Structure 1
Amino acid sequence: MLKGKKILVAGAGGLLGSTLSAALLAQGAKVLVADIKLPLMNERLEQQGIDPRHADVTRVTLDLNDVASVDALFASLDDLDGAVNCTYPRNKRYGARFESVTLADFNENVSLHLGSSFLFMQQCAKYFERSRRPFSLVNISSIYGVLAPRFDVYDDTPMTMPVEYAAIKSALIHLSKYLASYVGNSDFRSNCVSPGGIFDHQPERFLEAYKQYTLGKGMLDIKDVTGSILFLLSDHSTYVNGQNIIVDDGFSL
């Protein structure tokens, strides 16, 4: 359903980005894969079965917190149909419990993630204004951008739900709506997908507690999320704009 479309995947070296890249290729898209760590991205893409010489894959190094890098990439494009931001930049102290988060770390992590997302969204809008090609932007938020954390699922584990994450992911949903309204053109679409928790070998105690809030699935597999993204990038969602699609097997009910 994406045959002939060219899609930019920022953060293609991550779990979601690499999986999505493979799904896009399977749907006939051409993919521009970008990441700050090119060797890691190439390794992850090979793990997804993507040949390094694949004719429909273009690879670039991209630091979303480097204005010159982002500007240069978008200035070089003239045939892009959509973009997905799968990046997750953060500092080394990210993930501390609420009481231990310093103002400096809070501000830095919000700037790294939300700030770079703003820059990416801004460049997508500028690209559309220049090219006038129909364009679909998909941002990745989270179920915790929609509702307050269920902190009990973290009991008896070393895990927590970072306060920066809640601030960033909730803001992303509103920024996506803001951008759709600001551009104000049916040919430019800005939407979000908000997944529930993604399985990544978390502690068994956490997995069991999390599952109790779902309708049976528990933590999602990464492939459970890609279908909604593909839908938003495709012509099947032509007039879906400024929306947030929740994929959580009922966790938010």
Structure 2
Amino acid sequence: MLLPSLYFEEGFKVIGNMVNTAFGKFNLTGKTALITGAAGLLGQQHASALLEIGATVVLTDISAEALGAACTALSCESTASRILTRVMDVSRAESITTVAEEFSDRRIDILVNNAAIDPKVNGDAGIQETSRLENFPLVQWELQLAVGLTGAFLCSQVFGSAMASDGRGGVILNIASDLSVFSPDQRLYRKEGLPADLQPVKPVTYSVIKAGLVGLTRYLATYWAEQGVRANALSPGGVFNGQGDEFVTRLTSLIPLGRMAKADEYQSVVQFLCTDASAYLNGQNIVMDGGRSVW
């Protein structure tokens, strides 16, 4: 049976309206997002994603020089007036409070807790391999937790409280890792010719911090839900950034898609999580790792 052409025309109109409505939710015009650790590889990608859909971004990091470089790079693809920078040390409450006070006349609608110290696994032969649990320095434990976990708590305390206080809600996005849901495979970091007690490993701090961020996310998701503040976590897999061939080969053998992520491949999910497109998503950890965590 042939259907009238009007049926198809009206059908396309309905579908078109649905698409427009759906994509219309990916819109942050008039909103301001503050990103910690914004001068880093993924920090800049998060900023680029939010700029693309209309947000004003506040880039924060501990290095003014690195922030300047990030701002310059992002200005090539977006309006410079929507890119603001502030030096901020997330491990110091007074530094966060100072930045919050500087933006007392501008509402922070979105907080992206991205700051972290990502310890590189080098495996240089020496008297001790300090990445190993037996030798891991307390000072490094305290420093890395202060930045990666305490920093997220402090920023959420300051900026999340402000979102909740006026009843207009907001979004907190914590950047975790696929290592929030499984342990590091230390075989990835083995070096030929080194004895067992000198083999480098992914430090204990990384797993503790990333798992802690997921716990913080769940706590925040219920704490300010009545005030309209949503909290979710994004757990990226490994991002290719010039790592050595041996490491890449080992890691990609563990990933069903057979490759590491490109730096810009998390942009669309950041946009989803920070906009009304995910208005009913709260307290979740989105693991985006090419399928590694399901093997």
What TM-score, normalized to structure 1?
0.90
1:69 maps to 2:95: yes
Distance 2:191 2:110 in 1: 42
Contact 1:93-1:105 within 8 A present in 2 as well: no
Letter in 2 for 1:12: A
1:80 maps to 2:103: no
Q: Which residue of 1 aligns with 2:48?
A: 22
Q: 2:84 pairs with 58, 66, 89, which one?
A: 58
Contact 2:67-2:85 within 8 A present in 1 as well: no
CA gap 1:130/1:224 in 2 versus in 1, 3 angstroms: same
Contact 1:35-1:61 within 8 A present in 2 as well: yes
Q: 2:261 pairs with 208, 212, 220, which one?
A: 220
Shift of 1:148: 1.3
Q: Please give the secondary structure, in 1, of the residue aligned with 2:216.
A: helix
Q: Which residue of 1 aligns with 2:179?
A: 144
Letter in 2 for 1:179: L
Deviations 1:143-186 (A, max 9, x none): 11111112222233775311100011101100110111122326
1:173 maps to 2:202: no
Shift of 1:237: 0.4
Shift of 1:92: 11
Equivalent positions of 1:31-46 (< 5 A) are 31-46=57-72
Q: Which runs of 5+ in 2 are unaligned?
A: 1-25, 123-129, 193-198
Q: Which residue of 1 aligns with 2:158?
A: 123
Contact 1:13-1:38 within 8 A present in 2 as well: no
Q: Quote the RMSD (CA, aligned, Å).
A: 2.5
Q: Which has the higher helix share?
A: 2
Distance 1:52 1:239 in 2: 29
Distance 1:112 1:93 in 2: 19
Q: Which residue of 1 aligns with 2:230?
A: 189
1:107 maps to 2:142: yes
CA gap 1:219/1:234 in 2 versus in 1, 3 angstroms: same
Q: Which residue of 1 aligns with 2:23?
A: none
Q: Please give the secondary structure, in 2, of the residue aligned with 1:252.
A: helix
Distance 1:242 1:52 in 2: 31
Shift of 1:97: 2.4
CA gap 1:239/1:59 in 2 versus in 1, 3 angstroms: same
What TM-score, normalized to structure 2?
0.78
Q: 2:37 pairs with 2, 7, 11, which one?
A: 11
Shift of 1:193: 0.2
Contact 1:84-1:139 within 8 A present in 2 as well: yes
Contact 2:173-2:234 within 8 A present in 1 as well: yes
CA gap 1:195/1:53 in 2 versus in 1, 3 angstroms: closer
1:250 maps to 2:291: yes
Distance 1:51 1:61 in 2: 22
Distance 1:49 1:208 in 2: 35
CA gap 1:74/1:49 in 2 versus in 1, 3 angstroms: closer
Q: Greater CA radius of gyration, 1 or 2?
A: 2
Q: Which runs of 5+ in 1 are unaligned?
A: none
Shift of 1:140: 0.5
Tell me how many residue pairs correspond in the alignment.
253
Q: Please give the secondary structure, in 2, of the residue aligned with 1:194.
A: strand
